[in-house]
């Protein structure tokens, strides 16, 4: 089986889809993200990113969330190759 590519939210290109695999941050951050619907197993789409380490915007279920660069850099995603 082909090994799927893993990368952080900041490394993804816009319009790419993927599944969250790991949130590599403190418990507080992980809980906050989970409550907003970002947790391992969740399918997300990257919508846009501001240049020069600006925030990343993603689509989760029906809503759009903006995540600061530092936080987005700790969210690992497995790219959806299909």
Q: Which residues bind another protein (CB under 8 A)?
A: 14, 28, 31-37, 39, 47-55, 57, 60-71
Q: How far is the CB of 6 from another protein (least distance, A)?
A: 21
Question: Least distance from C-beta 41 to another protein, angstroms?
Answer: 8
Q: Cβ closer to another protein: 5 or 70?
A: 70
Structure tokens at 13: 């290109």
Output the CA angle 16-10-68, nearest 5 degrees: 120
The residue (of 61 and 82) whose beta carbon lies closer to another protein is: 61
């Amino acid at each position: 089986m082909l090994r799927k590519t893993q990368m952080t939210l900041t490394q993804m290109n816009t319009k790419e889809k993927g599944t969250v695999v790991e949130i590599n941050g403190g418990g507080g951050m992980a809980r906050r993200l989970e409550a907003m619907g970002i947790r391992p197993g969740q399918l997300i789409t990257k919508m846009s990113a501001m240049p020069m380490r600006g925030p990343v915007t993603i689509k989760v279920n029906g809503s759009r969330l903006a995540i600061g660069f530092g936080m987005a850099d700790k969210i690992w995603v497995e790219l959806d190759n299909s």
